[in-house]
Amino acid sequence: MSEQTTQNRQKNSWVLLAGLLVAMLFAALDNTIVGTAMPRIVGELGGLAVMTWLTTAYMLTSTAVVPIAGKLADMIGRKTVYVTGLVIFIAGSALCGMADTMTQLIVYRGIQGIGGGVMMPMAMIIIGDIFTGEQRAKWQGVFGAVFGLSSIVGPQVGGWIVDSLNWRWVFYINLPVGILATVLIFLGLKNRRVDGPIKLDIAGMFTMIAGVVSLLLSLTFGGKEYPWLSWQIIGLFALAVVFLAAFVRVESRASEPILPLHLFRNKGFTVLNGIGFLMSIGMFGAIMFVPFFMQGIIGMSPSESGTNMLPLMLSMMVTSILGGRFVRKVGIRKQIMFGMVLMGIGFVLLSMMNLDTTKFVAAANLVVLGLGMGLVMPVITLALQESFPKSELGVVTSSSQFFRQIGGTFGMTILGAVMNARSANLLNEQLVPKLEALPAQAHGIAQQLEGMIAQSPQGLYSMLLSPEAMAKIPASIQQTIVPTLQSTLVETLSHVYLYGLAFIVLGIVLTFFIGTIKLSAAKGKAEQEEGTEIKAVANSVNTK
């Protein structure tokens, strides 16, 4: 290989890495900046009753398409799938910016989610292609840190865009950045030639999408929009069971299944994805309730509460980067185990917070949780990639993202139900007697609050987070109910964090079943199947 050829390939590799980083950053940013623009969107388009669908539509489509994208990447090549996902995301963003009604915006967010679901696993798949195990450990940590960075800067960027321009630019900003990422990836990523006919598993795609969407809808709306035992939620669960059972049957007969069932016979695949699933149940479910404590107990404003999440994200970024270097020395199993134990300690500390907990102590507890998260998340993907041949790299890598996203939805649902059940019991025991003892002229407010206890305890606690809501309650009544609301909220959150801890403990138990997974040596993997010879390139990048 000539020196000129090597230099060209090194340059090509840096172009590709730049494209991957830009694509991941702008896709991840979109998840956080849209929430900042919600009030302005509702103010202009209306549709307050269906506002949550802006998030739900994106979540449904992006989650359902992840495993499909991974399989297609294995079949027809990374470049074709990745660029297609980028184009769909850019087109969806443009349509969102042009939406005239809330219904249009929800539909366009679903389209955007299809592109996002293709993009999110592709970066890790391509890193798995072009780097050896030791090298990709470092780079997956870097990409994990970029994802964490988006969570930090997203709300600030979104707020600036909304204040300086208007909410439509929250979507339009994706166009120039997305086009840049598309050009860089198109130039830097080589595509393999496909020999012979491509057999698409259409039946598998349909049954998977129908089953996953039905399951996610039931988990999203159960206990909120509809009671858990309502015909709507039971019907959605039934549809999920029927379609997922059909999916298993279809996949067992398909020549090119979307999610090959033989993967589940591999202990490493099942154990590692099980750990990712359990970690996400606890992690996403618990993090969702941190603002309740920050605002309702410590008394932070919403903006201060968001800022206080910085320690969690910053610590996760640090260990995501450093963990890529540590794993070569300590090994995959030990690092995942240590990270999960740190997460468990973080949950214990969160469960011990009380009415006297300071802002500093709460932030320190989140740091411990973040340190554990950063050690675990990139390494699960790395371990899966090292356990399977390159011919299955796409579907295996995307499975990690898929099961984590499903786990996050389960976590928010399960721990949300735990919070409602526990808080309802505590409020009935401690608050209702005080409400019944209020003067006759306050019975109207008392009945309203009792109704909230029965229907939505979380909504009642949200009053602590809303100065506007509290202002509508006379000061004398506030003096009666606020201390009780705060004390029961603390006890309820402690209960929630202990449930979250239970899932983390199950994940720790699973780490004992991770076999010995060795990282591929730095000079063992010379070429990626997409057609780029990168042995010299990867080693060059690794030394930078």
Judge contact between 78 and 194, C-beta under 8 A: no
Region 360-379: mean pLDDT is: 90
The domain that contains 156 carries what CATH number? 1.20.1250.20
pLDDT of residue 346: 94
Number of domains comprising the chain: 3
For residue 222, which phi and psi values (nearest 5 degrees)?
Answer: -65, 130
Same domain, 38 and 123: yes
pLDDT of residue 41: 84
Same domain, 155 and 216: no
Same domain, 17 and 103: yes
Q: 520 versus 76: which is more confidently predicted? A: 76
- Lowest mean pLDDT: which of 74-78, 108-112, 454-458, 522-526? 522-526
- Please check whether residue 306 lies inside any domain of the structure: no
Range of the domain at 461: 423-492
Same domain, 126 and 229: no
- Please check whether residue 93 lies inside any domain of the structure: yes
- Please check whether residue 366 lies inside any domain of the structure: no
- Lowest mean pLDDT: which of 11-20, 332-341, 460-469? 460-469
- Give pLDDT tens digits for 154-211: 766 777 777 778 888 888 988 998 899 899 888 888 766 566 567 788 898 999 999 9
- Lowest mean pLDDT: which of 131-135, 330-334, 387-391? 131-135
The proportion of the chain whose per-residue pLDDT surpasses 90, expressed as a percent, equals 22
Give the span between the Cα atoms of 101 and 98, in whole angstroms. 9
Q: How far is CA 195 from CA 22, 97, 108, 198, in A?
A: 31, 40, 35, 8
pLDDT of residue 348: 95
Same domain, 2 and 96: yes
- Please check whether residue 430 lies inside any domain of the structure: yes
Same domain, 92 and 32: yes
Region 22-39: mean pLDDT is: 76
Same domain, 11 and 154: yes
- Whole-prediction pTM value? 0.82
Q: 323 versus 109: which is more confidently predicted? A: 109
- Give pLDDT tens digits for 85-130: 999 999 999 999 999 998 999 999 999 999 988 888 888 888 877 7
Same domain, 179 and 210: no
Q: Within 13 Å and on the Cβ side, how many CA atoms surround 476?
A: 8
Judge contact between 497 and 357, C-beta under 8 A: no
Check whether 381 has a pLDDT greater than 60.
yes
The residue among 84, 73, 76, 163 whose CA lies nearest residue 116 is 84
Same domain, 205 and 67: no
pLDDT of residue 105: 92
Q: Which long-range contacts (CB under 8 A, 24 or more apart) does 362-369 make?
A: 362/293, 362/294, 362/298, 362/308, 363/308, 363/311, 364/311, 366/290, 366/308, 366/309, 366/311, 366/312, 366/315, 367/311, 367/312, 367/315, 368/315, 368/342, 369/283, 369/286, 369/312, 369/315, 369/342, 369/343
Give the span between the Cα atoms of 34 and 41, in whole angstroms. 9
pLDDT of residue 451: 76
- Give pLDDT tens digits for 474-486: 777 777 788 888 8
Which tokens is 452 given?
């909230």
Judge contact between 188 and 19, C-beta under 8 A: yes
Q: What is the pLDDT confidence band of residue 237, given thresholds at 50, 70 and 90?
A: very high
- Please check whether residue 163 lies inside any domain of the structure: yes
Region 363-372: mean pLDDT is: 91
Same domain, 214 and 174: no
The sign of the CA dihedral 427, 432, 434, 440 is positive
Q: How far is CA 41 from CA 107, 205, 257, 469, in A?
A: 15, 33, 41, 22
- Please check whether residue 289 lies inside any domain of the structure: no
Burial of residue 499 (CB within 10 Å: 0-12, 13-18, 19+) is: buried
- Please check whether residue 135 lies inside any domain of the structure: yes
The identity of residue 293, as a single letter, is: F
- Give pLDDT tens digits for 266-276: 888 999 999 99
pLDDT of residue 11: 60
For residue 308, which phi and psi values (nearest 5 degrees)?
Answer: -70, -10
Region 147-155: mean pLDDT is: 69
- Please check whether residue 21 lies inside any domain of the structure: yes
pLDDT of residue 189: 82
Same domain, 187 and 209: no
Which tokens is 475 given?
């000061």
Same domain, 131 and 243: no
